């Protein structure tokens, strides 16, 4: 157990230092953990701390003799892990959680750190009844009170919930935060085209619920994937319904010529190929070697002919205007996927958005050049923020009179024909996609 806590603390420190994402850090940390229970605990502890970090820090500030800024990162990570166990898990006795945290702190930062952690945690256990956090605001609450509750008690960055509060109001923002703080369901599709995932799983003794928006997909309870036999997992692909909707919104048809820009990990490319009736030409591209390797693996598993090209979407593409459909699933902040990737809460800042939007505009500009007249260009992100979504599209349309909106009328469509999935409306991560058509010259 101490080994798992030490690895969890190191992973959290790496995330805090913005070395790697939590997913990448966990992939490294779990490599030689043979016990599936240890692997599961490592994920639960680290993801739980990322979800509840602001709440945990508010507690530490009330029981520690040192301010947060004066606590070294390894010791702070150990405290957060222990408090997450004490406050949000009930299967580990308090004394075991404290003992494990003290041993982990000693291993990471020495005996003095262990003594400090012991004092803080025992102080918490003595005074936990007096710990105070901002309460859910009533109807007469001020905006400041709403923000304090959403940012501290609901553990979200204040800058982000302030934006949501202004756009959606308090009730929808609170529902969004609650969604993000839940362990995510796993949504799957069967690799065999046309198979219904819920039926396929039921035939193998696995309980699942049919997806709400995409036919053939199924939702599994948190933890069900890890408990599933390997041979069953081998027949499935994990993909959010919002992500699948983006692929279907591209409108690929049999015998189309399609380009998927920024295609890794490849799930959307597989769905595009299936929508094409597995006829036509599909080219999938990405840039970094690791993502290209993952893309090829996904396409191979999905039965897609591997036409993979290494491209930097920010530069001119080596094609003429020949594609019937071009999908730009742009690199983005990921702020729409905080339930699945809770470390993004603390790794992305407001100041990051302008640079992301500039990259997105460049990629969209280059992709537009290879769409044939009458063809469709789809721009998509998994961000909640207009800076990366509507504003990018508006700037593009202002500069390109040869493109016009082409409304999406399927699931998740807003009144303006844009695909926008939202946790508070759909129970899905926040995905955005807009369809544009290139006008045919008169």
pLDDT (tens digit per residue) in 239-283:
999 999 999 999 999 999 999 999 999 999 999 999 999 999 999
* Residue 2: pLDDT over 70: no
What is the per-residue pLDDT for 310? Answer: 97
pLDDT 10s digits, 276-316: 999 999 999 999 999 999 999 999 999 999 899 999 999 99
Counted residue by residue, the chain has a size of: 442
* Residue 77: pLDDT over 80: yes
Backbone phi, psi, residue 164, to 5°? -65, -40
What is the per-residue pLDDT for 40? Answer: 86
Please, are residues 112 and 14 in contact by the beta-carbon 8 Å criterion?
no
- 190 in the same domain as 175: no
- 264 in the same domain as 344: yes
d(CA 30, CA 39): 6
Q: Which of 23-37, 109-123, 307-321, 340-354 has the lowest mean pLDDT?
A: 23-37
pLDDT 10s digits, 191-212: 999 899 999 999 999 999 999 9
For tokens 């199924």, name the residue. Answer: 218
Residue 135 belongs to a domain: no
- 100 in the same domain as 191: no
Catalytic entry in 154, 177, 332, 382: 382
- 161 in the same domain as 113: no
Mean pLDDT of the chain: 95
Which of the four pLDDT bands, split at 50, 70 and 90, describes residue 1? low
Kindly state the average pLDDT of the residues 49-74: 97
Which of the four pLDDT bands, split at 50, 70 and 90, describes residue 338? very high
- 114 in the same domain as 197: no
* Residue 34: pLDDT over 90: no
Please, are residues 249 and 435 in contact by the beta-carbon 8 Å criterion?
yes
What is the per-residue pLDDT for 264? Answer: 96
Residue 382 annotated in active site? yes
pLDDT 10s digits, 391-429: 999 999 999 999 999 999 999 999 999 999 999 999 999
Q: Over pLDDT 70: what percentage of the chain? A: 99
Give how far Cα 231 sits from Cα of 225, 238, 376, Å: 12, 15, 39
Q: Over pLDDT 90: what percentage of the chain? A: 90
- 266 in the same domain as 221: no
Three-state secondary-structure class, residue 310 = strand
Residue 142 belongs to a domain: no
- 414 in the same domain as 272: yes
- 195 in the same domain as 254: no
- 271 in the same domain as 362: yes
- 192 in the same domain as 166: no
* Residue 155 DSSP one-character state: T
Q: Which domain holds residue 176?
A: 150-180
What is the per-residue pLDDT for 442? Answer: 67
């Amino acid at each position: 157990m101490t080994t798992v806590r030490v690895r969890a603390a190191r992973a959290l420190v790496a995330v805090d230092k913005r070395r790697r994402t939590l997913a990448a850090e966990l992939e490294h940390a779990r490599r030689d953990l043979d016990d599936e229970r240890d692997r599961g605990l490592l994920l639960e502890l680290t993801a739980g701390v990322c979800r509840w970090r602001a709440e945990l820090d508010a507690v530490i500030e009330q029981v520690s003799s040192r301010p947060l800024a004066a606590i070294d990162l390894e010791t702070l990570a150990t405290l957060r892990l222990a408090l997450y166990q004490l406050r949000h898990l009930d299967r580990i006795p308090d004394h075991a959680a404290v003992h494990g945290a003290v041993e982990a702190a000693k291993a990471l930062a020495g005996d003095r750190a262990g003594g400090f952690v012991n004092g803080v945690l025992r102080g918490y256990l003595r005074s936990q009844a007096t710990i105070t956090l901002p309460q859910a605001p009533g109807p007469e609450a001020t905006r400041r009170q709403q923000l304090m509750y959403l940012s501290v008690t609901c553990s979200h960055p204040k800058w982000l919930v302030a934006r949501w509060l202004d756009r959606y109001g308090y009730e929808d923002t609170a529902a969004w935060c609650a969604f993000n703080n839940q362990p995510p369901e796993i949504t799957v599709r069967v690799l065999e085209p046309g198979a219904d995932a819920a039926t396929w799983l039921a035939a193998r003794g696995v309980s699942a619920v049919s997806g709400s928006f995409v036919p053939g997909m199924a939702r599994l309870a948190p933890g069900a994937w890890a408990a599933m036999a390997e041979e069953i997992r081998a027949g499935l692909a994990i993909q959010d319904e919002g992500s699948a909707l983006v692929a279907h919104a591209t409108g690929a048809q049999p015998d189309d010529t399609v380009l998927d820009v920024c295609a890794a990990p490849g799930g959307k490319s597989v769905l595009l190929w299936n929508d094409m009736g597995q006829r036509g030409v599909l080219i999938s591209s990405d840039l970094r070697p690791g993502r290209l390797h993952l893309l090829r693996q996904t396409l191979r598993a999905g039965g897609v002919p591997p036409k993979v090209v290494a491209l930097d979407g920010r530069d001119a593409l080596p094609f003429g205007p020949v594609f019937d459909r071009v999908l730009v699933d742009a690199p983005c902040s990921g702020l729409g996927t905080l339930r699945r990737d809770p470390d993004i809460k603390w790794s992305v800042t407001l100041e990051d958005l302008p640079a992301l939007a500039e990259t997105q505009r460049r990629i969209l500009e280059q992709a537009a050049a290879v769409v044939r007249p009458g063809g469709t260009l789809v721009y998509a992100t998994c961000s909640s923020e207009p800076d990366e979504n509507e504003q990018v599209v508006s700037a593009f349309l202002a500069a390109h009179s040869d493109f016009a909106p082409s409304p999406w009328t399927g699931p998740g469509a807003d009144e303006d024909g844009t695909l926008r999935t939202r946790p508070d409306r759909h129970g899905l991560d926040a995905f955005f996609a807009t369809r544009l058509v290139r006008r045919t010259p008169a």
